[in-house]
Amino acid sequence: MHSYNFDCVIDRSGTSAVKIDGLDRVFGRHDLTPLWIADLDFAVCPQITEALFKRLQHPVLGYSEPGASYWQSIIDWNLRRHGFGIAREELCFIPGVVKGIALAVNFFTREGDAVLIQPPVYTPFRTVVEGNGRRIVENPLIFEDGNYRMDLDGLRKVVTEHKPKMMVLCNPHNPIGIQWDKETLAEVAAICRQAGVVVVSDEIHGDLMLHGRSHIPFLSAGEDARAIGVMLGAPSKTFNIPGLVSSWMVVKNPELRERFYKWLEVNEFSAPVLISTIGAEAAYNNGEAWLDQMLRYVEANIDFVEDYCRRNIPEISVVRPQASFLLWLDFRRLNLCQREIMEMLLDKAHLALNDGTMFGSQGAGFARLNIGTPRCVLASALESLAAAVHSSARCCCNNN
Ligand SMILES: Cc1ncc(COP(=O)(O)O)c(C=O)c1O
């Protein structure tokens, strides 16, 4: 079997990479090791670039309509990887997962309606809802003994008190990497169905399951979930092709689906894009070995960070993820406020990590580290972090 090299450091400058070119805009400086926005620093599987090159050899790039093989690649992938069956009519192209959330918010809710999220959670869940004049209601996750769980009693209470029209679920949950179990998903579905809440389940991290865990699509959690669920998926995180923007949506319930899909179609929101469908099909049909090797590399990166922190920076603890390549780091033992944590990361360690409070006020004391990068990059980042923590600790002692 071909062995892929994830140790290779690839210079991404000059490629319009947000991770690099966005440093000044987001962090106010560019002398930082970029370990923030959730894409991988690894080369994509060569079959994807080969498929794109092949198509680009044809000189005409007109309007496109993907054939049956594109749709089948998504259906086969979900069945093969997750045991999740999708019928062709349940599937629809969307121009990005966040745009899929935005489209669902616009179609299923009205201005002033409440939409429920569970922070700390991926920032656009809030910005899309608020930016469209809807109200956020929160059911924060519970953090106990180093682990997060969903507050199902809280969910019942918020749904009863605030009567949201929609819940945006993160499954697996970014930034923590939790895959919700089937019982939890079924309970969410029962609570929401009874209250007439549509559940939009963002499953963009679902293919990135670690340590032998299985992804459980929300729509596989029983009849209630199928009645009210809108599932969003994509090959973008899975195969490191977010720049191609090739996402899809599944709605099982025909009553929920028919008007929604018609609205997407007449507005041409669901019109596939030539390059994205070619990349997606190549990835789903030929990228499995690359993905499996990439996930083993990410698992080893998690062990590497955990081991390094245990030995050298025991003040920082790692919340072990069940999925994806993002590590939620707990800095609270340093007794620094969030501003001081971020100053330490930026000014002393020269590292661009996501500020935990981007994901909600519940993220205070935390930062998110993207470990989808070669181990040598991670090793040097951890050394800088250790030095910064130790000098900050000394400063604190001196101040006291
Ligand atoms: C949970 C989640 N949803 C959506 C996205 C972005 O998806 P897209 O680029 O397809 O809008 C991300 C990217 O980090 C994410 O973590």
Q: Ligand 1: does its nearest atom lie under 6 Å from the Cβ of 224?
A: no
Beta bridge partners, 327, equal 369
CA atoms within 13 A on the CB side of 366: 26
Token duo for residue 320? 């072990």
Question: Is 388 a domain residue?
Answer: yes
CATH number of the domain where residue 75 is located: 3.40.640.10
Contact (CB, 8 A) for 74 and 248: yes
Of the three residues 286, 315, 349, the one that is the final residue of a domain is: 286
Residue 396, pLDDT score:
47
Claim to verify: residue 273 and residue 312 sit in the same structural domain: no
Of the three residues 242, 260, 286, the one that is the final residue of a domain is: 286
- Residue 103 main-chain phi, psi, to 5 deg: -65, -40
Q: Ligand 1: does its nearest atom lie under 6 Å from the Cβ of 200?
A: no
- Give me ligand 1 centre to Cα 118, in Å: 16
Residue 1, pLDDT score:
77
Q: Ligand 1: does its nearest atom lie under 6 Å from the Cβ of 128?
A: no
Amino acid identity of 383?
Answer: E
Q: Rounded to an integer, what distance in angstroms lies between the CA atom of residue 256 and that of residue 226?
A: 10
**Domain encompassing residue 124:** 63-286
Q: Nearest 5 degrees, angle CA 92-CA 94-CA 100?
A: 115
- Give me ligand 1 centre to Cα 98, in Å: 6
Residue 392, pLDDT score:
82
**Which atom of ligand 1 lies closest to the CA of 39?**
14
Q: Ligand 1: does its nearest atom lie under 6 Å from the Cβ of 169?
A: no
For tokens 């670690």, the residue is 210
pTM score, whole prediction = 0.97
Count up the domains in the chain and report the number.
Answer: 2
Claim to verify: residue 210 and residue 74 sit in the same structural domain: yes
Q: Are strands 147-149 and 91-94 parallel, antiparallel or unpaired?
A: unpaired
Claim to verify: residue 255 and residue 368 sit in the same structural domain: no
Residue 394, pLDDT score:
52
DSSP 347: I
Amino acid identity of 124?
Answer: P
Calculate the alpha carbon distances from 139 to 194, 199, 341, 375 in Å. Answer: 17, 14, 26, 36
Q: 3-state SS string over 207-275?
A: CCECCCCCCCCHHHCCHHHHHHEEEEECCHHHHCCHHHCCEEEEECCHHHHHHHHHHHHHCCCCCCCHH
Q: Nearest 5 degrees, angle CA 169-CA 18-CA 140?
A: 25
Claim to verify: residue 75 and residue 27 sit in the same structural domain: no
- Give me ligand 1 centre to Cα 220, in Å: 21
Contact (CB, 8 A) for 283 and 244: no
Q: Are strands 354-355 and 366-370 parallel, antiparallel or unpaired?
A: antiparallel
- Residue 272 main-chain phi, psi, to 5 deg: -65, 155
The 10s digit of each residue's pLDDT in 106-134 is: 999 999 999 999 999 999 999 999 999 99
The residue whose CB lies within 8 Å of the most ligand 1 atoms, and thus the one to mutate among 19, 118, 122, is 122
- Residue 205 main-chain phi, psi, to 5 deg: -95, 5
Claim to verify: residue 187 and residue 69 sit in the same structural domain: yes
Claim to verify: residue 263 and residue 328 sit in the same structural domain: no
Question: Is 243 a domain residue?
Answer: yes
Residue 292, pLDDT score:
98
Question: Is 230 a domain residue?
Answer: yes
Claim to verify: residue 262 and residue 306 sit in the same structural domain: no
Of the three residues 264, 286, 308, the one that is the final residue of a domain is: 286
Contact (CB, 8 A) for 323 and 213: yes
Claim to verify: residue 68 and residue 34 sit in the same structural domain: no
- Positions in the chain short of pLDDT 50: 395-400
Question: Is 4 a domain residue?
Answer: no
Q: Ligand 1: does its nearest atom lie under 6 Å from the Cβ of 241?
A: no
Question: Is 78 a domain residue?
Answer: yes
- Give me ligand 1 centre to Cα 315, in Å: 30
Question: Is 1 a domain residue?
Answer: no
Q: Rounded to an integer, what distance in angstroms lies between the CA atom of residue 364 and that of residue 356?
A: 6
Question: Is 213 a domain residue?
Answer: yes
Question: Is 152 a domain residue?
Answer: yes
Q: Ligand 1: does its nearest atom lie under 6 Å from the Cβ of 122?
A: yes
Is the sign of the CA dihedral 381, 384, 389, 392 positive or negative? negative
Q: Rounded to an integer, what distance in angstroms lies between the CA atom of residue 353 and that of residue 259?
A: 41
Q: Is there a cis peptide before residue 172, judged by omega within 30 degrees of 0?
A: yes
Nearest CA to ligand 1 atom 14: 38
